[in-house]
Amino acid sequence: AQTVTQSQPEMSVQEAETVTLSCTYDTSENNYYLFWYKQPPSRQMILVIRQEAYKQQNATENRFSVNFQKAAKSFSLKISDSQLGDTAMYFCAFMKLGTNAGKSTFGDGTTLTVKP
């Protein structure tokens, strides 16, 4: 079974600054995806970024980037130039491939507040 740990229940950052959210996971699988999702107060789950485990290059989506350390089983999210609209709960998630592909395991989430 997989586990995902987000050790920061709450974080805050000043607008325009940079913040990093931590995520570690435990798995014996070799092929998997990792995700960061954003859940604003509307509770709609929004995909922020995806990382394929077989790719060594860290994924980047505009102001969002990850630091993927496969050996250390670490997958942190960096948000640059934070905006008020980034205020939300952020979930790190693990998805295995192969048999039972698509089933995701989520961390407990980090509530991020961007302060003006």
Partner 1 sequence: GAVVSQHPSWVICKSGTSVKIECRSLDFQATTMFWYRQFPKQSLMLMATSNEGSKATYEQGVEKDKFLINHASLTLSTLTVTSAHPEDSSFYICQGQTNYGYTFGSGTRLTVV
Residues in the site for partner 1, rule: CB under 8 A?
Answer: 42-45, 47, 50, 89, 91, 95, 100, 102-109, 111
27 versus 104: smaller Cβ distance to partner 1: 104
Q: What minimum distance in Å lies between the beta carbon of 18 and partner 1?
A: 25
38 versus 82: smaller Cβ distance to partner 1: 38
Do residues 75 and 34 make contact, with C-beta atoms less than 8 angstroms apart?
Answer: yes
Query: Strands, E, within 1-116: which ranges?
Result: 3-5, 10-14, 19-21, 24-26, 32-39, 46-52, 60-61, 64-69, 74-79, 88-96, 104-106, 110-115
109 versus 114: smaller Cβ distance to partner 1: 109
How far, in Å, CA of 57 to CA of 38, rounded? 22
Q: What minimum distance in Å lies between the beta carbon of 45 and partner 1?
A: 4
Q: What minimum distance in Å lies between the beta carbon of 10 and partner 1?
A: 10
